[in-house]
Amino acid sequence: MRLFFIHGMYVVSSLILMGVKSDIIDIRTAMEIATFERNRKEPELLSGNEVSWTFINFAGEDHTNFQALIAFLRMLSILASSEEGASKVFELLQGKAFRSVGWNTLFDCLSIYDQKFKQSLQSAGTMLHGFQEGDAKALVPYLSVLQKPHVSRKELGLDPTNGAYYGPPIPPKRDYHRPGRLSGCCILSALFKLIFTIVVVLGIAALVIWLVLRPSKVKVHVDSATLTQFNLTNSNNLYYNLSLDIAIRNPNKRIGIYHDKLEANAYYEGQRFDYVPLPTFYEGHKNTTSLYPVFTGQAAIPLQSSDVVVFNRENGDGLFSIDVKIYARIRFKIGSIKTNRYKPSFKCELRVPLMTSCGSSAVGFTRRKCDIDF
């Protein structure tokens, strides 16, 4: 920019000192001036007018005097004021058809003046190389073309970093984004991605653990049941004697089970008539443990008349529907890791035959599987 400023001042000084006036106007220059006047008054006539642009391209060919070149550059300055005109001027400048004038061309002389100027700065007392009349006068309208807002420096290939731009400084693009602040949309998007990533990672981890451990539920069966007494008095007092053989199995290969608390409860028609605490124990991998609870005694149970009817019918058949529920408190052991306590329950729906005084029953007992509820 400093070089452009000194050159510009030198150009202006040269123009003032020379004060050259010329009446040389050939027929081509007259045509360019006529086109310039028409475009300045009615620039919309150029829109899609290929005939006019053909003439303008023709006018950019060889010039025999700098007045013709100046008129041509002034015409380009007017044309570049519109968006379409700027694009056309860009194509024209890219072609550079008007560089082949008879005298030192504007573009070639600028590089020469630039070299001379640099040499004068390095050697004290060296005079600046003067501008020729045509170069000085042609420079002003050429700079006017470059200063048009519709033609960007990148489109013209005039990047200030390569020293080819002699126009005023072009302000940088404004960035309206405030650093350090995120919009609500960006925050929600980042939060969604984080949650999605966590869910995916946890899902993969759970899948891997499941594939390695292959956990299975505890299995409980009632292998046998013996009922030697089950009498109901008129005052709804129940006398009973029930013995069970319960098998608890851990089917897992890599998981052990701590049975910290076990309790068996006996029900008839939804009414509990007894409960028995069971021993606690640790059950290893793929192991089965048998427990033998015994319910004996008497209890008052509030049966409805319909329940009494059911009791009388089952007593006649010698086969009673008795439910046994086992309430547990367990922990799992995986390697050296012990989990928190869980409280599952097991419901066993039994059909128990009543033994007669001679030790036989009308029907036998069928092994039953208990349902688990975590």
pLDDT value of position 53: 63
pLDDT value of position 77: 73
Q: For residue range 277-292, what is the model confidence (pLDDT) as tens digits?
A: 999 999 999 999 999 9
Asked if 286 contacts 252 with a C-beta cutoff of 8 angstroms, the reply is yes
pLDDT value of position 188: 87
Low-confidence ranges of the chain (pLDDT < 70): 1-66, 83-84, 90-114, 116-118, 120-141, 143-183, 359-362
pLDDT value of position 73: 73
pTM for the model: 0.48
Q: For residue range 98-122, what is the model confidence (pLDDT) as tens digits?
A: 444 433 455 566 666 667 666 766 6
d(CA 186, CA 36) in angstroms, rounded, equals 53
Q: Which residue has the tokens 């925050």?
A: 187
CA triple 335-336-342, angle to 5 deg: 85
pLDDT value of position 215: 85
Q: For residue range 64-81, what is the model confidence (pLDDT) as tens digits?
A: 566 777 777 777 777 777
Domain assignments of the chain as residue spans, ordered by start? 2-162, 181-213, 219-373
> If 0-12 CB within 10 Å is exposed, 13-18 middle and 19+ buried, where does residue 347 land?
middle
CATH class of the domain comprising 219-373? mainly beta
pLDDT value of position 31: 45
Helices 27-41 + 50-59 axis angle, to 10: 140
- Alpha-carbon distances, residue 292 vs 64, 219, 223, 225, 257 (angstroms): 124, 16, 10, 10, 19
pLDDT value of position 5: 35
pLDDT value of position 348: 97
Structure tokens at 275: 């409960």
pLDDT value of position 75: 74
